[in-house]
Structure 1
């Protein structure tokens, strides 16, 4: 079969869906990546996928979004896939409409709600109406946690019968492995891995780091992730530079080799306002790290309070600081126990093999229905 994977960036496909692409290619399927062209397009081609560039602009301009629907429709008519796999908001909405127009079954994945259900304004109300319109059409809709699924059902955005919950994108347990026993070094390092967005809790991390360093001045607080000023929730680089000038937080920039940074960290932190199932936490859990995250949908699926980490209140730098200080007061044995619990949770609940197998099964089911 020919299977199209449609996401808002080629980077996203390469970093988060390569295990699925490899599995599809191994099964003998043809894979076509449909996304804006960026530095990762060639990597997808090298991996064995075809690549079809489709421009997807950020923002909520209705005229541009109508054009995106048309561009995706033209791409689907050109590629003629048997099934389309949609990820991220715009492909989920406009891709679903385009696939319906082209007569191609679609499988959607709600990998996170972004700011749509966090910031309540006219844009979010429009987005909800668009979801309700577009989600009439997919053959299957995967969610990454039960909270998101219940939210969509409560708002009558999707039929219950086509929905299912997956454990996020899963994690490659061979790629992300523990680096050895826990060793509490002199310079304890908290690491936050996320795009530099307000909704990821960057402000709270900076506030918490300042409070923690007042009591533990040798503690290192690192932020790793891309600056995304064009995002609706983006933090301006100038603001980031002002925070860095205080010396409270170190900015590690952006890298594809996240595992190297996680390996050097003692605890991974994610004070996000809402997630699907955060890849950051899955990677850190697989590498046997203690975790701190907000008690919100997505994060609490990975972090079990007092077992493999601690949960804090969302939008509270003070509570995050309190949890960071609690971690600092633990012994090496207690931290190692938490880290081992993280690895166990990753192995038993988030192995990406489960996600891949469910996708392979869903693709067969959808293709069978198409030809009956």
Structure 2
């Protein structure tokens, strides 16, 4: 029986984003090993039927000693387990998991789910990371990209060979879990942003737009935030900053949730004003599947989810004024108009972003490699 490893920088990610991939691999008769830092979701991965192995990954850090520990951690795991194929997710796993796998003859499938800050600044750490990506990806057997721009960037910079690359529709949406859920027609327009609380995700622009629109529309508009706060990232929003916004009655912070569909169901529109290099944001796919209009930036990865004026609106990256203008379009719509726009979102997700497309591509890649 072939053994497939699946790796990420958190167990939370594997459980929340790749649960159905793990289930599909198990149903095909593969043994599955989940490799990630241990957290409260590690046990849930084992309950799915995967074997769990802990590895230390400093996901937001740039300490070379810590990264060497990660590399040798992967090397130790591959030397002790007869793994046939490894599926890597998240940047450090794509780099160090690939290098370690190459040392032990393990086939590699990587997923480039956006390039984050690596290609929006010229810091020395970003240059080093780009070099490591270029060096490591020569050893990958398959590289999946979530948008064509990232794929083209890799090819133009000779970071991957074209025949080893392929496109995925993001990480897809589970259409059986995320179903049409019209919001209540109660005179309040509710917006939700789901992401790690990073300024690069446009959190600051969202708050500024909310402040202005709250002054204009008062209690007839609400702005909500859901996602990890005070994370290890130079762009992170601090707990004190979030509390100040909440105390000012600009936004509601909902924390984190394993049942995001319950939060999405309550709102009229999903927002993500990101200028981060996204893959295709999961929150936009899932909210679209639930029939919500989307307001996001005309930015890599984000623009794929919106047909402007049909199922939502695109705003300019890094522009509070543009974001506010698009949010006001949503506010000024009749409730029925928002619902019709949301139906167009559902249709688009069904047509282009069904999770089964993603899972089938992974199963095909694994079968080809084993």
Match of 1:8 in 2: 9
TM-score of the aligned structures, taking structure 2 as reference length: 0.97
Q: Give the counterpart of 2:335 among 332, 335, 343.
A: 332
Query: Partners in 2 of 1:228 and 1:355 — Cα distance?
Result: 31
1:319 corresponds to 2:322: yes
Match of 2:123 in 1: 121
The equivalences for 1:253-268 within 5 A come to 253-268=255-270
Query: Partners in 2 of 1:15 and 1:143 — Cα distance?
Result: 19
Q: Gaps spanning 5+ residues in structure 2: where?
A: none
Give the deviation of 1:184 after TM superposition: 3.3
Give the deviation of 1:178 after TM superposition: 0.8
Match of 1:72 in 2: 74
1:115·1:233 contact (CA, 8 Å) conserved in 2?
Answer: no
Query: Partners in 2 of 1:10 and 1:24 — Cα distance?
Result: 17
1:99 corresponds to 2:117: no
Match of 1:90 in 2: 92
Query: Partners in 2 of 1:313 and 1:80 — Cα distance?
Result: 49
Match of 2:291 in 1: 288
The equivalences for 1:199-348 within 5 A come to 199-218=200-219, 219-273=221-275, 274-348=277-351
Bigger CA drift: 245-254 or 81-90?
Answer: 245-254
The equivalences for 1:137-152 within 5 A come to 137-152=139-154
Give the deviation of 1:289 after TM superposition: 0.4
How many residue pairs end up in the alignment? 366
Query: Partners in 2 of 1:80 and 1:289 — Cα distance?
Result: 45
TM-score of the aligned structures, taking structure 1 as reference length: 0.96
Q: Give the counterpart of 1:130 among 118, 129, 132.
A: 132
Query: Partners in 1 of 2:49 and 2:11 — Cα distance?
Result: 14
Query: Partners in 1 of 2:218 and 2:318 — Cα distance?
Result: 24
Match of 1:20 in 2: 21
Query: Partners in 2 of 1:3 and 1:224 — Cα distance?
Result: 33
- Look up the SS of the partner of 1:164 in the other structure: strand
Give the deviation of 1:183 after TM superposition: 4.2
Query: Partners in 1 of 2:49 and 2:28 — Cα distance?
Result: 13
2:88·2:110 contact (CA, 8 Å) conserved in 1?
Answer: yes
Q: Show CA shifts across 1:289-312 (max 9, x none).
A: 011001101111111110100000
- Look up the SS of the partner of 1:199 in the other structure: helix
Give the deviation of 1:199 after TM superposition: 1.0
Match of 1:370 in 2: none
Q: Gaps spanning 5+ residues in structure 1: where?
A: 368-372
Query: Partners in 2 of 1:126 and 1:258 — Cα distance?
Result: 36
Match of 1:81 in 2: 83
Match of 2:36 in 1: 35
Match of 2:110 in 1: 108
- Look up the SS of the partner of 1:191 in the other structure: strand
